[in-house]
Structure 1
Amino acid sequence: MGEAYAPRRLGQLLTGTEAKGIADRLADGDTLTAALKIVAIGHRVEVRRLLETVASGAGATHQRVLVLRAIEGARALPTTMSPLWTMPGHLARSGPLTTSVTRLVDSARHAITCSTFNFQRSSAIWTSLRGAAQRADVIVRVYMDTRAADSTAQQQSPTTAEVAAHLAPADVWRTKEFDGTYVRNHAKFLAIDHHLLLVTSANFSWSAENNNVEFGVLIDSPNLTEAVERELREAEGALYERTS
């Protein structure tokens, strides 16, 4: 494997977020091993080998950072948007249907971030996310509302603990108290591979995916998608706690 091949292959494997994260950590003085923790487990060995091929010896870190910055820049693609509808009787005439969302989840190569009020076992996403979470090459991160899932009035919905068990080994975060009251997580979106962002009115239930009138927007924008994911990550600890 030559030096010319390695950057191309890295560009195929890494998302803009991953390339930026590795470059930032290397530039801050972290070891390559520590920097690669941002990458999905299934890709770490190959990414390490490729980065070692890109450069070695004195000045290797600088050369690797340059390559990673180039990949980060190349991932900054123009934004495209598509409407996403659900209507009873399949009456929606423009854009794909909400039921097509499972194909987005199934096609994920690197990462999925999901934010929802709660889950219903009847939702197609319930099954698709479990399949994605069990793939070694996909990192799944979920944010959900504690009271919506764990309240005794919501016995038909899986609890936060049941969601964590169902999606293991995914990282499941639930809301906690802030300023004396529980935070309500009502943001509903899916982020796929750090570039596709689906923002939707639909809850993750069979009725929302098939019978309701629901509207969403599917946005292909690495910059926006990564910014949304980063916003919730930075709120962890203050607004969310990890579900055990």
Structure 2
Amino acid sequence: MANYITDLFYGVGDKERFVDGVSHALNTLQSDGIFAGDNLITWNKNMGFLRDDKFISAIKDNNPDLQEESLIWRLHTLCWAARQCSRLEGDFVEAGVYKGFTVKVLCDYLGFNDLARDYYLYDVFYHTPDMKHHALSSHSDQLYTQVCERLRDYPRVKVVQGLVPDSFVKGMPEKIAFMHIDMNNADAEVAVLDQLYERLVPGGMIVFDDYGWLWYGAQQHAEDAWLSQRHYERILELPTGQGLLVKL
């Protein structure tokens, strides 16, 4: 039985003390199937995705840093949802791309070039103080070019630079099978729903990366309100901090 244990946790004041405490607690368990990282600690779980060689290779082959590697359970959620949706008619969308790591993992895992569809990516790729989303360490004027280069082997991946929703004028899919939304900003994520939700085909899925994280409570509130006003489906909050919606 595999375990996955890392010291990647967020919002911890005294990290050394916290990690020591976690290690002590885990050492008391008479159980395998332990996962610790990305603010998720659980045990006695099968974690079958750790035995999926193709999935693990898709991560390792992209040379993840420690933070990216710690997202493995979130990445499993994405790959599972995208694989299910690959059976449907429609393109894929990612709103909030950053370094393109998750897109590249997903494309490698699915063999995206064989799926006969487009993958639309939307991001501004840089940050200025007036922007509502928070800055990340790799935001820069060069990031857009770096992401395009990273995804060069996937010609049907379309990297669209600009602020949402204005950048949608550069191109949008007519039908969508799968969306991943990770914009760290409630207004931008609602704008994505405004423009693209009706293009999501029945059975299509949206994975919201920030939905279950307390720091991004404004996004959960805004997205729940948007769906409720339209009497649409509800989002399932996952222990990974993600949210999952299946359009009926």
TM-score, normalised via structure 2 length: 0.29
TM-score, normalised via structure 1 length: 0.30
- Pick the structure with more helix per residue: 1
